[in-house]
Structure 1
């Protein structure tokens, strides 16, 4: 396929903010390829909570009329700009921070495209892209846990939580966590966690000041996370999937020598070579079998409304992918 053969593309889009019902599927103009970009024919597109927030109008979204959501996906390069030197036609790549991904074709800056090893399955890479790089950065840049330390993960069965748990387990760390259902509890235990609690059951009082590190991407659980930490422990705060965190009493933290560490992946994923180094480290866990991925739920791109509804329901265990 060449650029000339594709003048119109099918995409999932919306022209006003709101619920899943604002999403439409139809034909739009193809993306314009700049000199430093590659044109990627999409195989899988990752759906993330950030896409929900963008659709609602509560999170930054690139200006466009109509709006096209999505920032993550995997596919094959079918055209290259004249200044591109790092990639070639026919190469399989994925990306985690390129707008307008909910479409058949996406124009990707060459420095944002990450080459995929031939011996890794497309669906696996599509499942671990953004969440995998996030988990890698949390474990190796913020947590820096040593073998035999004991850690706790809120939302251990979520997209980041599953991969983070397995990375830490592979690194010799003892992993505990909490989740919402018995099905999700079973998955987390199968992936190597020592013990996984159900959120609606009493468990907290038995584990106060027990953990070296607590990973919290939920937000509203921040006070609970502090209670779970040992003195001199570290709380890794990386998101607000459950709502805004409460105010923290820094004097109490000081008296117990507890620390809160925060970070944004985009302050670490700063250039092409950072993307390559970090993705290769993540790929090693996949290639040696340390990370097992729950089977994703795949929706045709035209059924984006159903995909958004499922993600918002919280009933999915694995990644949700869209397929053009």
Structure 2
């Protein structure tokens, strides 16, 4: 099979494209022929050696994709060959064929295309978990999303707006600001400029931070008794936090790992169907993904790492 792989950690220059052996199917797995593969910031960290990656020679990156079942293991049971499925947490995804454990399969409901499913899969389930498990804002609350036009930010903003919550955020370009405002976001601030953050001190009930280095700034945005939801480090490692100051103002930092919530097949189905319902009921729309050939994986990594994307970046075998 064709795959995108690397032998040593480093810049995108380490990436190679070529023939590797097809995965050997275990009894509890199905073999998926991938149609699209999601590219995420975590894949960049893995390529650099800064994030856990499954031990394999050579390394095959990627954990998210969509495609059709072409073979089933002896212990899988009723999984129809030819059925289109999504997975969001299965290693070695940067390949034409991926062995997916039965419990990691997500069924696509009628009306959800494969391209939409993989464009919203990981980021959408993350947004759902942030909104419904970690933060639980109330109707009428004011929230701020750092990096609001990214994959998680786009979905999270619309999810919250549909539930009566006032949403603000920051974005790095005018195009990204325009996109967020089109969703009904109240105001978008320029993340690469200074001078506006002091005006937001004490304004928000909840702040979502997937950037990392902005953590202290986002704590200052909170009202007393407010919560920062910390869920990523797209901009770098977060600074140290003054816990005494948090205590003095009854502010909280909440964090969590999506994989502690996607613990079995049933949990994945329940959460994914809730996510997909927002799209089927036209409460959420997303920008078109940017698609690269899997053979052009280096270009895709550079594009994402340089912050050129608005929304999802996909690889197509």
Q: Please tell me the TM-score bracket, short chain as reference.
A: over 0.9
Q: CA deviation at 1:52?
A: 0.6
Task: Describe the shift of the 1:211–1:86 C-alpha distance in structure 2 as closer, same or farther (beyond 3 A).
Answer: farther
Distance 1:138 1:297 in 2: 25
Out of 235, 239, 243, the position equivalent to 2:236 is: 243
The answer for unaligned runs of 5 or more in structure 1 is: 1-8
Distance 2:251 2:235 in 1: 23
Task: Determine if contact 2:109/2:273 at 8 Å carries over to the other structure.
Answer: no
Distance 1:124 1:105 in 2: 20
Deviations 1:117-144 (A, max 9, x none): 1311211111001000000000000110
Distance 1:101 1:207 in 2: 41
SS of residue matched to 1:69: coil
- Which residue number in structure 1 is paired with residue 139 of structure 2? 147
SS of residue matched to 1:248: coil
- Which residue number in structure 2 is paired with residue 4 of structure 1? none
Distance 1:322 1:233 in 2: 39
- Which residue number in structure 1 is paired with residue 72 of structure 2? 80
- Which residue number in structure 2 is paired with residue 281 of structure 1? 274
- Which residue number in structure 1 is paired with residue 179 of structure 2? 187
Q: Does 1:118 align with 2:134?
A: no
| TM-score, with length taken from structure 1 | 0.96
Deviations 1:238-290 (A, max 9, x none): 11111111111111111111111111111111111111111011011011111
- Which residue number in structure 1 is paired with residue 196 of structure 2? 203
- Which residue number in structure 2 is paired with residue 171 of structure 1? 163
Task: Determine if contact 2:228/2:254 at 8 Å carries over to the other structure.
Answer: yes
| TM-score, with length taken from structure 2 | 0.98
CA RMSD of aligned residues (A): 1.0
Correspondences of 1:245-264 after superposition (within 5 Å): 245-264=238-257
SS of residue matched to 1:139: helix
- Which residue number in structure 1 is paired with residue 221 of structure 2? 228
- Which residue number in structure 2 is paired with residue 92 of structure 1? 84
Deviations 1:175-196 (A, max 9, x none): 0001111000001111221111
- Which residue number in structure 2 is paired with residue 27 of structure 1? 19
- Which residue number in structure 2 is paired with residue 3 of structure 1? none
- Which residue number in structure 2 is paired with residue 266 of structure 1? 259
Q: Does 1:42 align with 2:34?
A: yes
Out of 130, 144, 157, the position equivalent to 2:122 is: 130
Aligned length: 316
The answer for unaligned runs of 5 or more in structure 2 is: none
